[in-house]
Amino acid sequence: MSTPHLRTAAACRAGCAGPARSRRRGLALPIVLLLIAMMLVTSSAWLESALFDARNAGALADYLRSYHAADSALRLCARAVVAGPADAPPMPATPGEPSAWQRPAEFDARATMPVDAWPGSVRPPQCMIEGWQLEDRPDARAWLLTARGFGASADAQTWLQLQLVLDGDAIESHWRRVAARPF
């Protein structure tokens, strides 16, 4: 005879635990889904960070390309002025710092290209030489040299300037960076 209170092991596995076991039964799925969601968010953040770093590296390479192109053009123009100032433009009649480089049409018309091409640049670098009459040194000959270098696109530009003064046998050069495009 069997007693009604005792159950077999198979019957107990099916429902002996009662309500406590049924509460634990659906808990694994939400935990696994939460872990997967956290991994997806972390992966997408890493991907965005990698893309941002790649864009920054490309922009830096473009800036360095345009900077070195402008610097080389500036040095070649300065060397040409020092070697033969007779080829340089005439001195202006009025004193004061030249400003023709700030007008796009005039810069494009008067700028020279000291090299035919620059590696990786969309255009060769340009250089403009402007005569400069110094108020405090009337016997000195001075020039403002402005160079523009390009990167892989026309928008990636670096502008550099050099103030060059020839006073007898003395050569003075004062370098300055143009922070923004003048146009």
Residue 123 lies in a domain: yes
Residue whose tokens read 């635990």: 17
Report the candidate in 75, 57, 58, 81 with the shortest Cα–Cα distance to residue 160. Answer: 75
Pairwise CA distance, residues 19 & 43, whole Å: 39
Residue 161 lies in a domain: yes
- Beta-strand (E) ranges in the chain? 126-132, 141-150, 157-167, 170-178
Residue 51 lies in a domain: no
For residue 125, what are the CA distances in angstroms to 17, 90, 91, 110?
83, 23, 24, 13
Residue 25 lies in a domain: no
Residue 5 lies in a domain: no
Residue 141 pLDDT: 86
Residue 23 lies in a domain: no
Residue 49 pLDDT: 95
pLDDT by 10-residue block (mean), the chain, 183 residues? 56 57 75 95 95 93 94 93 72 76 91 93 94 85 92 92 90 82 76
Residue 88 lies in a domain: yes
CB 178 within 8 A of CB 87: no
Pairwise CA distance, residues 133 & 144, whole Å: 10
Pairwise CA distance, residues 168 & 137, whole Å: 11
Q: What is the pTM (predicted TM-score) of this model?
A: 0.73
Residue 40 lies in a domain: no
Residue 138 pLDDT: 80
> Which residue segment(s) compose the domain that 69 sits in?
65-178
Q: How many domains are there within the chain?
A: 1
Residue 83 pLDDT: 86
Residue 181 pLDDT: 79
